[in-house]
């Protein structure tokens, strides 16, 4: 799906991996557009001065960024290329870590009156954050993402939008990625710098660790004040906008891999699979190949005329030279949902041999091939793809639910639960007193010693009884505690 590029922390995303990203992008973009949000594009480079205010006021401001200082190369000593000292920029440029600041400046220009609100903006782009420790798809110096930025007249409108984005991420993750998640509010210490509140979706990976897979922030008027985003209200008075921002990235592909991968490689849910059905004609370099290819192509044509999950079925006939079994295992490893192997005899008999990626092995430990009449297969293919989508979700959901532990009622019990000799211990659901400030810092420190973090407080969490195991005060809400990526 991807490989190291030779530039530290930057990856080459190969066709299958990028195809998954394209599917994610298209499906998520459809939802974003349906919500009335408009896409724009902002510059890659941001003048260093844009960050000055943020650096002064925002604690936790990340300074690890790629800095452009020159605009020309020149042959240096020994002929090697070096930055031309004559072409030094007066003001260095930063490669965007997010476009927050420039989008804020644009909104300040674009918004004059209440009539211009809400302003709902989104960008799909590459961003760069210089990471010391990188991990393919999960933490890379360059990554691809979308960042939504919206401005509203009041808190209510902004909160509604922020929660709409969170719900978009939640339902997208579950419906399209077949990845169960918990949507909820992050604790104060995990808020985006400058945010009034930060919400996230958290997915459980197969090793029990949590992955933050999307975030949505309500920024109050703090960001508007810094960027000068003002509007004239109906009474003619100048007011600051309430803003939100929300983002999801290629990290979702990392989540997908660690949710659905198995010993044989990846299993891609049909909704985001670049090809849902891969047909492998068992070519023999003889006279029969032509008829075989015609037969395969006929199946392809019948399939692509059908709809699965509301879209046309995506089918590839893999005609490349090579041994059929090698090609089969390559597609198994990539995780194509449905693999068809078709030989001359199948073609003659009007049959197909299929392999469902999510049910790869039979009870005898052999590849779980299933032969059926072509017409019957074709009639059921769309339903089968939808069934694979559902099955993958169910499997992940069962694991997710089974690995959330309740009833831990002391810090010692928590410590014991996550002791070194326990494997894949999953998440712990606790009730806590929602500490803030110094009190929260103390809790965070205790958790850190156990290599744990608070993930979030789930949406719609009912009032809870009992005592907070950290503070000893009455508990007020649920949280999830977990190890995390």
Q: Which is nearer to a second copy, 149 or 356 (CB)?
A: 149
Closest of 485, 473, 480 to residue 414, by C-alpha: 480
80 lies in the site for a second copy, by CB under 8 A: yes
Please report whether residue 7 would count as binding a second copy according to CB under 8 A.
yes
By CB under 8 A, the residues from 135 to 164 that bind a second copy are: 142, 144
Write down the H helix ranges in 339-436.
344-349, 374-402, 411-417
Is 298 among the residues that bind a second copy (CB under 8 A)?
Answer: no
CB of 60 to a second copy, least distance (A): 14
Place of tokens 């017409």: 375
> What is the contact mask toward a second copy in residues 93 to 132, using x (rule: CB under 8 A)?
xxx------x--xx--------x-----x---xx-x-x--
Residues in 168-187 that interact with a second copy by CB under 8 A: none
- Joined tokens for residue 337: 């949902």
Query: What is the DSSP annotation of 226-286?
Result: HHT-EEE-TTS-EEEPEEEEEEEETHHHHHHHHHH-BTTB----GGG-S-SEEEEE---SS
Q: Which of these ranges, 17-25, 186-194, 261-269, 368-376, lies near a second copy under the rule CB under 8 A? A: 17-25
Q: What is the DSSP letter of 463?
A: P
What whole-number distance in Å separates Cα of residue 221 and Cα of residue 240?
Answer: 6
Angle at 312 between CA 309 and CA 316, to 5 degrees: 115
Q: Rule CB under 8 A: is residue 58 a binding residue for a second copy?
A: no
C-alpha torsion sign, points 54, 210, 254, 460: negative
What own/partner pairs with CB < 8 Å and gap ≥ 24 does 403-407 have?
403/204, 403/208, 403/427, 404/204, 404/428, 404/429, 404/480, 405/429
Q: How many residues contact a second copy, by CB under 8 A?
A: 66
Q: Which is nearer to a second copy, 127 or 478 (CB)?
A: 127
Place of tokens 């670049």: 274
- Our finding on whether 70 is near a second copy (CB under 8 A) is yes
Q: Give min distance, CB of 12 to a second copy, in A.
A: 5
CA–CA separation, 270 and 308 (whole Å)? 9
Any contact of residue 201 with a second copy (CB under 8 A)? no
**CB of 243 vs a second copy, minimal distance in Å:** 18
Of 449, 443, 438, 427, the C-alpha closest to 475 is 443
Q: Of 30, 57, 75, 298, which one interacts with a second copy (CB under 8 A)?
A: 75
Judged by CB under 8 A, which of 34, 59, 60, 63 binds a second copy? 63
If the CB atoms of residues 303 and 392 are measured against a second copy, the closer one turns out to be 303
Q: Is residue 42 close enough to count as binding a second copy by CB under 8 A?
A: yes
Q: Per CB under 8 A, does 322 bind a second copy?
A: yes
Can you give the binding site for a second copy, defined by CB under 8 A? 5-7, 10-15, 18-19, 21-22, 38-49, 51-52, 55-56, 63-75, 79-84, 92-95, 102, 105-106, 115, 121, 125-126, 128, 130, 142, 144, 320-322
């Amino acid at each position: 799906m991807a490989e190291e590029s030779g530039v530290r922390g930057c990856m080459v995303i190969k066709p299958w991996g990028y195809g998954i990203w394209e599917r994610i992008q298209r499906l998520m973009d459809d939802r974003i557009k349906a919500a009335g949000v408009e896409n724009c594009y902002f510059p890659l480079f941001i003048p260093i001065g844009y960050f000055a205010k943020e650096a002064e006021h925002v604690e936790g401001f990340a300074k690890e960024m790629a800095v452009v200082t020159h605009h020309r190369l020149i042959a240096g000593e020994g002929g090697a290329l070096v930055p031309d000292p004559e072409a030094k920029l007066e003001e260095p440029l930063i490669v965007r870590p997010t476009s927050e600041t420039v989008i804020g400046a644009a909104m300040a220009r674009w918004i004059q009156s209440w009539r211009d609100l809400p302003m709902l903006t989104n960008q799909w782009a590459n961003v760069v954050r210089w990471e010391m420790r990188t991990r393919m798809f999960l933490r890379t110096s360059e990554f691809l993402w979308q960042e939504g930025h919206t401005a509203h007249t009041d808190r209510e409108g902004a909160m509604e939008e922020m929660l709409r984005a969170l719900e978009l991420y939640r339902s997208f993750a579950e419906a399209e990625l077949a990845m169960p998640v918990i949507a909820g509010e992050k604790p104060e210490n995990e808020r985006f710098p400058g945010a009034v509140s930060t919400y996230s979706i958290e997915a459980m990976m197969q090793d029990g660790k949590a992955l933050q897979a999307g975030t949505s922030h309500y920024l109050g008027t703090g960001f508007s004040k810094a960027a000068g985003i003002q509007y004239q209200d109906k009474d003619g008075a100048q007011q600051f906008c309430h803003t939100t921002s929300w983002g999801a990235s290629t990290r979702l592909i990392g989540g997908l891999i660690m949710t659905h991968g198995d010993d044989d490689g990846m299993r891609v849910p049909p909704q985001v699979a670049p090809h849902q059905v891969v047909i492998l004609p068992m070519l023999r370099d003889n006279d029969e190949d032509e008829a075989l290819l015609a037969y395969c192509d006929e199946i392809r044509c019948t399939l692509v005329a059908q709809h699965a999950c509301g879209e046309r079925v995506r089918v590839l006939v893999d005609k490349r030279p090579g041994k059929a079994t090698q090609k089969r295992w390559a597609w198994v490893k990539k995780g194509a949902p449905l693999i068809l192997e078709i030989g001359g005899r199948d073609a003659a008999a009007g049959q197909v041999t299929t392999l469902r990626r999510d049910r790869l092995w039979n009870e005898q430990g052999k590849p779980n091939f299933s032969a059926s009449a072509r017409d019957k297969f074709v009639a059921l293919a769309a339903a089968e793809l939808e069934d694979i989508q559902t099955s993958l979700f169910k499997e992940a959901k069962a694991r997710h639910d089974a690995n959330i532990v309740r009833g831990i009622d002391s810090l010692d019990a928590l410590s014991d639960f996550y002791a070194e000799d326990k494997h894949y211990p999953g998440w712990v659901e606790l009730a806590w007193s929602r500490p803030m400030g110094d009190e929260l810092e103390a809790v965070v420190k205790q958790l850190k010693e156990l290599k744990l973090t608070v993930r979030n407080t789930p949406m719609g969490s009912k009032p809870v009884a009992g005592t907070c195991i950290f503070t000893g005060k009455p508990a007020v809400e649920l949280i999830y505690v977990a190890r995390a990526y």
